[in-house]
């Protein structure tokens, strides 16, 4: 078996493959370009996208060529898969902003050396140029409406008697067309995605065969939930973003540190690059020792995204805050001129990604000054708030910084 498929199987990345034997044989012949599509619905990807990103990384590490496809065109429609209602339509300006934010995420995971490295493409390059009648004649004739109505992404919406617009109904045609264009332009022979994309991927595989007689492949990753059944990457405070301007490295570290005990082994296999022998050893730990495995998970996952130095700093900050009794002198500190608006300090400390988010944190009673809940969004920290030369600013039970005068 090709090394990519062997490692992907071993680590738990694979849910379904269209023809695994034929795909393995093709991979042994030489590098196989493969892609994953990412619609630009926000200015950062989140942990829910991470499994697909790790697949692209593994693909590159095993000698194949990854392609990250940004959905500059398909975002204008919105993927209806497993959604109860249509996605809000974004302006072209917002899509451009989101594309720029998403591009930054991939630099941590993929090598984009010109000529030989990973590719980052945008399907607006070909979708924006399509002519309606030629598209219907050349591409639409290969799709059966009867079959499209049986696809889960469509069927579930109709079964619930929830509206599905003609705009959304076209999405699977455009995603399939992406696969055709990518094979014709760049030799892409494999589309990967989450298990909810299986129907769309199959359509793309068949379109390549019907239009050009080409053999291409599809692969999906498992739909990830935590051991308690929660959707992966969602927390009480919202999505776990990958860009540092949306979520600080320390908070990203804490997300992994707070994994459920039953998830540690699986997450170590999926979201770190530790050898599987070490993963199995850590997964077997029980009792209090499982907390050490969680710290390793948090540090290794954070190092992949934010770098080793940021990961170790986050681990050390957590150790000082929790294992040394949260003694004031061990807490991280920020220096600022006083008085200073507390919402600005919350952003500076990484407790919130924006002033708006800091205000929401206050409204949820999640921000404290010197262990007292903050209720005034216009509050400023002044010299009178200092205790032994510093004020303690806290978010929730686990995040604390000292505010010192500059």
Contact 403, 336 (CB under 8 A): yes
Q: Check residue 78 and give its pLDDT.
A: 83
Count of Cβ atoms closer than 10 Å to residue 100 Cβ = 12
Output 375 or 269, whichever has higher pLDDT. Answer: 269
Share of the chain above pLDDT 90, in %: 59
Instruction: Summarize pLDDT for 186-245 with one digit per residue, the tens.
Output: 999 999 999 989 999 999 999 999 999 999 999 999 988 888 777 777 665 578 999 988
Q: Check residue 85 and give its pLDDT.
A: 65
Report CA torsion sign: 379, 381, 383, 389: positive
Instruction: Summarize pLDDT for 294-344 with one digit per residue, the tens.
Output: 999 999 999 999 999 999 998 888 777 665 555 455 677 788 888 899 999
CA 252 to chain centre: 12
Q: Check residue 343 and give its pLDDT.
A: 92
Q: Check residue 320 and give its pLDDT.
A: 72
Backbone angles phi, psi at 240, to 5 degrees: -95, 95
Structure tokens belonging to residue 335: 């220096």
Q: In what order do the strands lie in the sheet with 333-336?
A: 333-336, 399-405, 391-395, 367-369, 372-373
Distances 124 to 102, 132, 202, 370 between C-alpha atoms, Å: 15, 15, 22, 51
At residue 361, does pLDDT exceed 60? yes
């Amino acid at each position: 078996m090709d090394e990519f498929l062997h490692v992907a199987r071993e680590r738990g990345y694979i849910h379904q493959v269209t023809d695994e034997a034929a795909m393995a044989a093709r991979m042994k012949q030489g590098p196989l370009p493969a892609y994953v599509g990412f619609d630009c619905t926000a200015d950062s990807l989140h942990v829910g996208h991470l499994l697909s990103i790790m697949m692209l990384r593994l693909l590159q590490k095993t000698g194949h060529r990854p392609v990250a496809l940004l959905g500059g065109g398909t975002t204008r429609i919105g993927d209806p898969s497993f959604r109860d209602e249509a996605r809000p339509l974004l302006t072209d300006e917002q899509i451009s902003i989101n594309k720029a934010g998403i591009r930054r995420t991939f630099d941590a995971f993929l090598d984009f050396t010109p000529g030989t490295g990973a590719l980052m493409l945008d399907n607006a390059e070909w979708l924006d140029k399509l002519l309606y009648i030629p598209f219907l004649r050349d591409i639409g004739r290969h799709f059966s409406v009867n079959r499209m109505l049986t696809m889960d992404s469509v069927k579930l919406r109709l079964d619930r008697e929830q509206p599905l617009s003609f705009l959304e109904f076209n999405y699977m045609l455009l995603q399939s067309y992406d696969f055709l264009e990518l094979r014709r332009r760049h030799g892409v022979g494999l589309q990967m995605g989450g298990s909810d994309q299986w129907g769309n991927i199959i359509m793309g595989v068949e379109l390549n065969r019907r239009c050009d007689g080409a053999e291409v492949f599809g692969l999906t990753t498992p739909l990830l939930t935590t051991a308690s059944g929660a959707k992966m990457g969602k927390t009480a405070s919202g999505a776990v973003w990958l860009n540092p301007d949306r979520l600080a490295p320390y908070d990203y570290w804490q997300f992994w540190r707070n994994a459920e005990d039953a998830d540690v082994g699986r997450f170590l296999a999926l979201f770190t690059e530790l050898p599987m022998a070490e993963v199995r050893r850590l997964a077997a730990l029980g009792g209090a020792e499982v907390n050490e495995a969680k710290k390793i998970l948090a540090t290794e996952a954070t190092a992949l995204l934010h770098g080793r130095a940021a990961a170790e700093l986050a681990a050390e900050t957590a150790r000082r805050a929790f294992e040394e009794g949260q003694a004031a002198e061990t807490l991280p500190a920020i220096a600022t001129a006083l008085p200073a608006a507390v919402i600005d300090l919350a952003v500076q400390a990484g407790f919130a990604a924006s002033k708006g988010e800091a205000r929401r944190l206050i409204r949820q009673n999640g921000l404290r000054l010197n262990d007292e809940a903050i209720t005034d969004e216009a509050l400023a920290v002044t010299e009178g708030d200092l205790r032994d030369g510093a004020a303690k600013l806290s978010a929730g039970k686990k995040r604390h910084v000292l505010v010192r005068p500059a």
